[in-house]
Amino acid sequence: MTTPTLRGVATKAGRDAWRTLTELFFDGEAQNRFHQASASIGVSPGLLKGLIHLDTVTGVPMRDLADHFGCDASYVTTLVDGLEEHGFARRDAHPTDRRVKAIVLTEHGERARATAMAVLFEPPACFDVLSTAEQRQLRDLLAKVAAADTTLHEAVPHGLAAPA
Amino acid sequence: MTTPTLRGVATKAGRDAWRTLTELFFDGEAQNRFHQASASIGVSPGLLKGLIHLDTVTGVPMRDLADHFGCDASYVTTLVDGLEEHGFARRDAHPTDRRVKAIVLTEHGERARATAMAVLFEPPACFDVLSTAEQRQLRDLLAKVAAADTTLHEAVPHGLAAPA
DNA sequence: TATTGTTATACTCTATAACTATA
DNA sequence: TATAGTTATAGAGTATAACAATA
């Protein structure tokens, strides 16, 4: 189980920014965007979360998936079973440790992932209130934050952070 | 069922900004923040989502909750049952239409909501890379976007958008 | 007749516990 | 002995369908 990152220190502006961001996600227009995205490729939200964290190049050990998602290993088995049934991923052998299975995306999985991400990454209509200059500002600020998020770049080179 | 807000038109910068924001939520440090927040008050994520959308002043018809969340009415019954069992909400009669039940937060529910929000709204550590000036910029840009999100301000005056 | 909400029911999602194989 | 993954099972979350009360 991943330990929560709760510090209790942050500037007022930073707290407000994060709060608004959270509101936008959990109660705004885009509130069920993740559900839409997974529905667009006929999988459950759980499967899409897995799909997003994988890639066609680097096999991710199932144990790492459980750690990343903070879930039980048995659920990872269920997840990977589901991905395999859809033809989206496969279990590869680990080169040195025969206990671990490295999960890699198939090409079919890669395409499904791209489809889902197109839905997921479509900005909500409210973004239109920002001028182009403001949208660039916002993009740059968020990019800086994301670059500092260690979890986001942990083990997966071509993970979610790769440009579409 | 709420119709998805997919337009297909947006500036490149706007799309990138939204994408990064989505990444931050679904694959970054704060990836399971909502789960933590609901655990902090001993409810399921579903119940917290309901809690967040309610308040102590304005009763929200169950039908409106179903529309907002894009879920079935029967699930709203389950949700409100759960909130009542925790003493977090109650069903009030509608003044003119005896079919509808207006759901209002109890004081106990209000306190639980505040506790959960304190967890939910705690910014992830990666926010520290931004200077105070940058955090203010980010806050202002996001506030502008949130103000334009109609869903966020639909029927609930003291909803999630109210300052802590 | 149409709408709000409930009940009964079943299917999906996720965790706990006990197990096998490998290190 | 400890760790990676699986199986069996149970519990929570969510939907569908049929229903009661009210409009």
The SS3 of residue B12 is: helix
pLDDT reported for residue B29? 86
Contact list in A for residue B120 (CB cut-off 8 A) is 22
Distance B40 CA to D6 C1' (A): 31
Q: Tell me if B130 sits within 8 A of A144, measured CB to CB.
A: yes
Which residues sit opposite A92 in a β-bridge? A102
| Per-residue flag: A68 CB under 7 A of strand D | no
A38 pLDDT higher than 70: yes
**Phi and psi of A40, rounded to 5°?**
-65, -20
pLDDT reported for residue B136? 96
pLDDT reported for residue A151? 82
Mean pLDDT (whole number) for A8-33 = 85
The residue ranges of chain B whose pLDDT is under 50 are 1-8, 156-164
Mean pLDDT (whole number) for A14-41 = 88
| Residue at token pair 């940058």 | B134
pLDDT reported for residue A9? 54
Cα separation values, A24 from A17, B97, B149, B153, Å: 11, 32, 8, 11
Could you write out the three-class secondary structure of B96-142? CCCCCEEEEECHHHHHHHHHHHHHHCCCCHHHHHCCHHHHHHHHHHH
Nucleotide nearest to B63 (CA to C1'): C4
Contact list in A for residue B122 (CB cut-off 8 A) is 6-8, 10, 15, 18
A163 pLDDT higher than 60: no
A12 pLDDT higher than 50: yes
A164 pLDDT higher than 70: no
Contact list in B for residue A119 (CB cut-off 8 A) is 6
Mean pLDDT (whole number) for A18-26 = 89
> What is d(CA A78, CA A8) in angstroms, rounded to the nearest whole number?
36
Task: Check B21 against A21: CB less than 8 A apart.
Answer: yes
| Residue (of A35, A143, A14) closest to B142 by Cα position | A14
Task: Check B143 against A35: CB less than 8 A apart.
Answer: no
> What is d(CA A86, CA A158) in angstroms, rounded to the nearest whole number?
21
**pLDDT one-digit tens code per residue, A51-103:** 988 999 999 999 999 999 889 999 999 999 999 999 999 999 999 999 999 99
| Per-residue flag: A71 CB under 7 A of strand C | yes
Neighbours of A92 (CB within 10 A): 12
A1 pLDDT higher than 80: no
Annotate A42-108 with DSSP letters as a single string.
Answer: T--HHHHHHHHH--SSS-EEHHHHHHHHT--HHHHHHHHHHHHHTTSEEEEEPSS-TT-EEEEE-HH
**Phi and psi of B60, rounded to 5°?**
-105, 125
**pLDDT one-digit tens code per residue, A113-150:** 999 999 999 999 999 999 999 999 999 999 999 999 98
